[in-house]
Chains A and B, each alone.
Chain A
Amino acid sequence: MTPEEVIDEIKRSGLRGRGGGGFPTGLKWELTRKVKAEQKYVVCNADEGDPGAFMDRSILEGDPHTVLEAMAINGYCTEASKGLIYIRAEYPLAIERLKIAIDQAREYGLLGDDIFGTGFSFDIELRYGAGAFVCGEETALIHSMEGLRGEPTVKPPFPSESGYKGAPTNVNNVETYASVPVILLKGADWFSSIGTEKSKGTKVFALAGKVNNVGLVEVPMGTTLREVIFDIGGGIKGGKKFKAVQTGGPSGGCLTEKHLDIPIDYDNLIASGSMMGSGGMIVMDEDDCMVSVAKFYLDFTVEESCGKCAPCRIGNKRLYEMLDTITQGKGTVEDLSKLRNLANVIKDTSLCGLGQTSPNPVLSTMDNFYDEYLAHVKDHKCPSGQCKALMSYIIKEDACVGCTLCARVCPVDAISGEKKMPHVIDQSICIKCGACFEKCKFDAIFIE
């Protein structure tokens, strides 16, 4: 096949980037091919930064050769002779297996100079991440490979025009590359027969959280969330009630009961206020407080923001503080509109994808669980009993036998009472550690 024919096959297959954005892969290859340059690079994004997702790791550990093969095919199409895999240092086993695979490929003549006498030369090197989520963003990733701080830069120019060392660079995700060899083997028609109209093929999800069967699941695009969570995932752990599912990691949103029957693909997820992301899927049950979940993601963003632009660096910090105030029971109804406002400003004005998507968890939980926010700010109650500051431990007078056990375990001496008489907890001293609750043998202590 000529390079043009390969690119055409990939285009016809309808393959879209599995790293999050869903950009058409064939088109990206064509764009990189069209730019004229002495040296071009092929980069594999194996930074897999979404916490709770590990499909790229499983591909690299289980079948590293598909990725190497696809990178060489890309080099053939884009006229690049050098490939780089940017892999996170947290994956030592994947790194080891990749090294072995690269050595094997060189030995068999699948990598190196003048591969099989075709005149085409291609080799691959590894580059290591160092624990920064933003380095998954392609421009940041390229800077990191150049030995710099991993800060994103404005696009355009896109990496396909000016990437690693200023040369045209094709960046694709691990799973994207892994789909390429099979498309060329079985044909574009086969691949595009799977999936929905605009999202072809299969997608691997990392199912985690409160489901019975956790792990990686590969399903055709267009499968519903219900099938994934209930049929494959075996439903919610401990027979509890399903509450929400976060797709797309910290950049995505929380989807609820009413979204369970939509077919999963790039466009449907975005239309519902979330996104595909890399394929993380975290299931939550009735015990999870959605304000706390939003706060958890914001905490992540605040820590991972590279700090280059103000909306993301300062705005997310303020968002986090507002959410914290709400979970402390000190928020007001006005805070909720401020929260939404600020979230929208950050979304519209941040430089890179991290800041542009970081308010999604807040906005989607506000859209779908507004009642829960209201309960926190109006009644100062956390409906799922997760927010420590909003709950009280109380001793039932008629159930307490006065055994004094609770008073002895309380680390701050908040419990008083005579022996064999009902005890009481001084709410102004109690730090809500729960020790008394766990120790009481008479179930006399309850949480309100």
Chain B
Amino acid sequence: MADIKLPANKVQELRDICAKFNHEKGELINVLHAAQGIFGYLPAEVQDIVAEELNVSVAHVYGVVTFYSFFTMTPKGKYPISICMGTACYVRGAEKVLDEFKRLLDLKVGETSANGDFSISCLRCVGACGLAPVVTVGEKVYGRVAPEDVKGIIAEYK
């Protein structure tokens, strides 16, 4: 993997957070949440720093990062699109909505577009099942989405 140069101020921010958690290894997941908040994702370089600060092996950090689906090692798009694949959304046709996003953006699940604008991922229930099928773009939530609506949603961000 090509080494990524992390911005020094963000690295400092991360080290400060580790200090705030007293370098306690039991706080690893909280630290990773914060780290993902700072960098947007968790590349190997970030994991190295976390391992060093909490005095655990990088393998341990990596094991935790890859266990939880909330943590990602690839940067998400500027407008991360998430399609809910929870049961309520599935029975109301979420798969067709997902297919339409994949087709129109020519992306697979987990991929980010070349210009870094869009990424597609699947979620398991955001707790808005009454609005199924549900799609989120960043913080914005779209409910009762039909395949026909997908084009319009993407257009809002182009």
Interface residues of A (CB under 8 A from B): 48-54, 57, 89-91, 127-133, 144-150, 165, 206, 208-210, 214-215, 246, 249-250, 280, 282-284, 288, 293, 296-297, 300, 306
Contacts and interface: CB of A to CB of B under 8 A. Distances in A.
Given A89-B70, A282-B87, A284-B91, A48 B26 contact: no
Nearest to A296: B90
B91 A128 contact: no
Contacts of A52: 86-89, 125, 129
Contact of B125 (A53, A129, A132, A165): A53
A19 to B, nearest CB: 16
A148 B64 contact: yes
Interface of B: 25-30, 32-33, 63-64, 67-71, 85-92, 123-130, 132
A130 B125 contact: no
27 contacts: A48-B127, A51-B124, A52-B86, A52-B87, A52-B129, A53-B125, A91-B127, A127-B30, A130-B32, A130-B33, A130-B70, A131-B70, A131-B124, A132-B67, A145-B26, A147-B29, A148-B28, A150-B67, A209-B92, A210-B92, A214-B88, A214-B132, A246-B87, A283-B91, A288-B91, A296-B90, A306-B67
Given A51-B87, A147-B26, 9 more contacts: A49-B124, A51-B86, A53-B125, A130-B29, A147-B25, A209-B92, A214-B132, A282-B88, A296-B87
Contacts of B29: 127-128, 130, 144, 147
Contacts of B126: 90
Contacts of B91: 208-210, 282-284, 288, 293
Contact of B27 (A51, A129, A147, A165): A147
A427 B80 CA distance: 38
A53 B127 CA distance: 7
A206 B132 CA distance: 13
A23 to B, nearest CB: 25
Contacts of B128: 54
A147 B26 CA distance: 4
A48 B125 CA distance: 10
A296 B71 CA distance: 24
A214 B67 contact: no
Contacts of A214: 88, 129-130, 132
Contacts of A215: 130
A150 B33 CA distance: 15
Q: Which 10 A-B pairs have the closest CB atoms?
A: A51-B86, A130-B68, A208-B88, A131-B70, A147-B28, A54-B127, A52-B87, A51-B125, A131-B69, A130-B70
Contacts of A51: 85-88, 124-125
Contacts of A54: 125, 127-129
A48 B25 CA distance: 26
Contacts of B88: 51-52, 206, 208-209, 214, 282
B127 A57 contact: yes
Contacts of B63: 149
A256 to B, nearest CB: 16
Nearest to A206: B129
A340 B26 CA distance: 42
Q: Which of B71, B86, B128 has the most CB of A within 10 A?
A: B86
A323 B10 CA distance: 48
Given A130-B70, A208-B88, A146 B26 contact: yes
Nearest to A148: B64
A280 B87 contact: yes
A144 B87 CA distance: 25
Contacts of B32: 130
Contacts of B125: 50-54, 90
B132 A147 contact: no
B33 A149 contact: no
A206 B129 CA distance: 8
B88 to A, nearest CB: 4
B75 to A, nearest CB: 17
Contacts of B71: 130-131
Q: Which of B26, B29, B32, B69 has the most CB of A within 10 A?
A: B29
Nearest to B21: A147
Contacts of B89: 52
A150 B63 CA distance: 10
A52 B90 CA distance: 9
A89 B124 CA distance: 12
Nearest to B27: A147
Contacts of B129: 52-54, 206, 208, 214
B33 A89 contact: yes
Contacts of A148: 28, 64
Contacts of A89: 33, 70
A90 B127 contact: yes
B123 A90 contact: yes
A129 B33 CA distance: 9
A300 B124 contact: yes
Nearest to A48: B127
A132 B127 contact: no
Contacts of B28: 147-148
Given A89-B33, A282-B88, A149 B64 contact: yes
A394 B154 CA distance: 33
